[in-house]
């Protein structure tokens, strides 16, 4: 797994995609920080994190789209499957490398918190930590989805669009509950499955173990499904 992890992490910086995604996250989050905090003289970074929610959902598919699609297109996946590492190790190596790159991009928000701390205002560290954990969990879930979708197709475009589509479905599933508001059980079920509803608790500074378990469980599920897809393709 370590070899795959290092290989994938290195690949993000041997082609422009890693630099582009980091630059986009830094620039957009920097604009939000300037507009909602520095210009408004506010120490509350919650708006920055909430605004980054959509950016994360759009940026991560560009990181995950090539993970397995590129291997299949170049016919190098067979060499990967015959390497002395388990399929789980291969998937986890790619997942962790992508997740680490995302965390590097997200960690710029902690720099903003330090900037605020050196100013006259006092940042609410509880809100910052809660929002950071929430967005990290959301990002991890989208990475897991992207790894899974990338294993299904040779097309990077389809992989990116598919990841975005699945992510948006999980983000907005609660809207179905609003359409069937008179059926309470439907609303409760869609709220339970909605990523945006789950994340809203973190945005309010509330860290619930069931929300953490929800995100981690879905990540494990998509990693497991990816391993099963690759196992089937290896034997075929």
- Containing structural domain, residue 15: 2-235
Mean per-residue pLDDT over the chain, rounded: 86
Please report which confidence band the pLDDT of residue 165 belongs to, taking 50, 70 and 90 as the band edges: very high
How many domains is the chain built from? 1
Are the CB atoms for 47 and 36 separated by under 8 Å?
Answer: yes
Q: From CA 78, how far away is CA 96, in angstroms rounded?
A: 21
Angle (nearest 5°) at CA 97 between 101 and 4: 155
Residue 4: predicted pLDDT? 82
Percent of the chain with pLDDT over 90: 42
- Residue 77 — pLDDT band, cuts 50, 70, 90? low
- Residue 230 near residue 87, CB atoms below 8 Å: yes
Q: Kindly state the average pLDDT of the residues 138-167.
A: 92
């Amino acid at each position: 797994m370590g070899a795959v992890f290092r290989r994938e992490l290195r690949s993000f910086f041997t082609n422009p995609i890693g630099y582009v995604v980091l630059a986009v996250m830094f620039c957009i989050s920097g604009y939000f920080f300037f507009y909602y905090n520095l210009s408004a003289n506010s120490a509350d970074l919650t708006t920055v994190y909430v605004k980054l929610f959509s950016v994360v959902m759009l940026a991560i598919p560009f990181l995950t789209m090539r993970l397995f699609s590129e291997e299949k297109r170049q016919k190098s996946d067979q060499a990967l499957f015959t390497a002395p590492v388990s399929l789980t190790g291969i998937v986890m190596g790619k997942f962790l490398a992508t997740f680490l790159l995302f965390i590097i991009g997200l960690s710029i928000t902690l720099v903003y918190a330090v900037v605020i701390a050196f100013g006259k205002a006092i940042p609410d560290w509880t809100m910052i930590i809660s929002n950071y954990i929430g967005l990290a969990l959301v990002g991890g879930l989208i990475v897991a989805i992207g790894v899974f979708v990338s294993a299904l197709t040779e097309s990077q475009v389809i992989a990116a669009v598919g990841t975005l589509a699945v992510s948006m479905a999980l983000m907005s599933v609660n809207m179905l509950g609003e359409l069937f508001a008179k059926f309470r059980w439907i609303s409760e079920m869609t709220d339970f499955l909605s990523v945006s509803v789950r994340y809203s608790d973190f945005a309010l500074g509330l860290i619930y173990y069931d929300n953490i378990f929800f995100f981690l469980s879905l990540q494990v599920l998509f990693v497991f499904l990816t391993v099963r897809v690759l196992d089937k393709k290896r034997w075929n």
